[in-house]
A = this chain, B = another copy of it.
Amino acid sequence: MTTPLAEDWISDLAADGALPSPVSTAERIVDILRTWLSDGRIAPGSRMSEEALSRALGVSRNTLREAFRLLVRERLLVHELNRGVFVRRLTVDDVHSLYRLRRILEVSALRDGLLLPPGVNRLRTAVDEGQAAAGRQDWQAVGTANQHFHQAVAGLLEDPRINELMSQLLAELRLAFHVMHPLEDFHEPYLTDNQRVCQLVEAGDGQGAAEVLLAYLTRAEHQLADAYQALKTDPRST
């Protein structure tokens, strides 16, 4: 508080919604790596070399290893003793498991969550975001909006723990999506389902919305699992 301008950048940061909250180097590395994984910039199965990455990121091996441990518990990386860490490679069973948990969480949210302004607005925003992206034929953005939609569904429970669980779950699923980016229009058919679910929620019909979503998720699960299964019998899968 020595400079008179201190207040200014404090409020600037506060306006961003994020408090100053300096973070550890390991946490910063986690953010970077999580983004890379989220964007599909590192393929599942890739080796995360300590030497190469620590040099590329400009941190010590020790610090990088701490970041690895955090991401291992987030299930984005796997650790093989004396072999190092690798980008997690989802099995078909993993895909089914992730969808099972999604169904449980999202259906519960629609049945038991508060179908009122704070949460319902987030739903509507995500639906509009998806339709706008579809209008621009931006399928990448359609996919992102779709994730926002499902995050918003879980968000109806207004529970930070469940929000985090949901976003972790979606991050894991992205490990499967990127493997199959040949089908970029994968999310497109779900736009109308999202719209329908949102309308039912706005009408206060959580039970009806839950039924639509349940059928929707089951369909998506099989579509993804089948395509994913097909990749495994594909010569390219090392």
C-alpha spacing A160/B93, complex, angstroms? 10
Tell me if A203 counts as interface (CB < 8 A to partner B): no
| A26 at the B interface (CB under 8 A) | yes
Quote the shortest CB–CB distance from A21 to chain B (angstroms): 8
* Binary contact track A86-123/B, C-beta < 8 Å → 1, others 0: 00000000100110110011001000100000000000
Partner of A104, one of B62, B65, B108: B108
Tell me whether A141 is interfacial, beta carbon within 8 Å. Answer: no
> Which of the segments A69-77, A189-197, A205-213 contacts the partner chain?
A69-77
Once A69-B70, A108-B108 are accepted as A-B contacts, the answer to whether A161 and B97 lie under 8 Å apart by CB is yes
Instruction: Judge if A238 is at the interface, Cβ distance under 8 Å.
Output: no
- CB contacts (< 8 Å) of A104 on chain B: these are 104-105, 108, 112
| CB of A173 closer than 8 Å to a CB of B | no
The DSSP consensus for interface residues of chain A is helix
Give the CA-CA distance A230 to B67 in the complex, in Å: 38
* Any B CB within 8 A of the CB of A22: yes
With A65-B66, A69-B69: A160-B23 Cβ-Cβ less than 8 Å: no
How far, in Å, is A91 (CB) from chain B's closest CB? Answer: 11
Protomer copies: 2
Q: Give the contacting residue for A81; candidates B22, B67, B74, B162; CB below 8 A.
A: B22
Distance in Å: Cβ of A93 to nearest Cβ of chain B? 9
Interface residues on A, range: 20 to 34
Closest CB-CB distance, A10 to chain B, in whole Å?
Answer: 18
**In the complex, which of the residues B98, B108, B157, B160 contacts A161, with contact meaning CB atoms closer than 8 Å?**
B98
Residue of B nearest to A75 (CB): B161
Check if A233 is an interface residue, CB within 8 A of chain B.
no
Instruction: Provide the bound-state CA to CA distance between A101 and B109, in Å.
Output: 11
**Which of chain B's residues have a CB closer than 8 A to the CB of A237?**
none
Residue of chain B at shortest CB distance from A71: B73
Kindly state the separation between the CA atoms of A98 and B165 in the bound complex, as whole angstroms.
Answer: 12
| A22-B81, A65-B66, A108-B108 given; 7 more Cβ-contact pairs under 8 Å | A24-B81, A26-B69, A62-B62, A70-B73, A101-B159, A104-B108, A104-B112
9 A–B contacts from the bound complex (CB under 8 Å): A22-B81, A26-B69, A62-B62, A65-B66, A70-B72, A97-B159, A97-B160, A101-B159, A108-B108
